[in-house]
Amino acid sequence: MNLLILGRGKTGSLVAEVAHGRRHNVRTLDVDENANACALTPAFLAPFDVAIDFTAPSAVITNAEACIRAGKNIVVGTTGWYEQLPGLREMVLSANTGFLYGSNFSIGVNLFFEIAATAGAALKYDYSGQIFERHHAQKKDAPSGTAITLQKIVRESGGQEVEIVSFREGDAVGMHEITFDSPNDRIYLCHDAKSRRGFAEGAVRAAEWLAGKTGFFEFRNVWREL
């Protein structure tokens, strides 16, 4: 496939490397080359099958809208923009294009989401819950998209909101912890990312899956199909 990678940060660069390794044709476009999606014209986007966005929360919507208007499918791994999901979903469905987003493209994290959904029921049995997340000091959004997804999953299974505590320090790739505490015991769940490669591999596989499809998808609902 012909893939356009938006963003040459740590994760975007690794996405490009993984895509090359999977024998795709890859073009990268950094944020400073694409202010307000100025480079994403229909003519520029014409050769690409799917775009993959790992830029910044402030750039996601304009990038996505440009791709949608050009009839191009897009995978979004950037987080911190989810308050605008309803409007973007409506645009995708009206344009009959394909859109796939995820707070985390790691297979391990998506398994962790399913474990959290089961454990969240503890809140119905006199347990209290809390989420902790740690990321590198340069991460722009807090709490992380992964932590927000965990919070939503636990709320749906346990019927209560749990607090998120965020830490931004050093070069931590991403650690997410959930605790459920009662007078009798404590449940502790943790996912600790060793590198960004799991995110990159999941994003490329997501683009392969999305090619030729229409609809609005969340990675945690479709990852088993990859």
136: annotated active-site residue: no
Using CA atoms, how far apart are residues 209 and 180, in angstroms rounded to an integer? 36
Tokens of 90: 């409506």
Question: What is the per-residue DSSP string for 196-224?
Answer: SHHHHHHHHHHHHHHTT--EEEEHHHHGG
135: annotated active-site residue: yes
196 close to 167: Cβ distance less than 8 angstroms: no
Q: Which among 72, 70, 64, 63 has a CA at the least distance from the CA of 98?
A: 72
> Catalytic one among 72, 135, 176, 191?
135
The Cβ of residue 215 has, within 10 Å, a number of other Cβ atoms equal to 15
Q: Which among 30, 7, 5, 32 has a CA at the least distance from the CA of 18?
A: 5
49 close to 2: Cβ distance less than 8 angstroms: yes
User: DSSP 3-state assignment of 71?
Assistant: coil
> Catalytic one among 139, 152, 191, 213?
139
Catalytic site residues?
135, 139
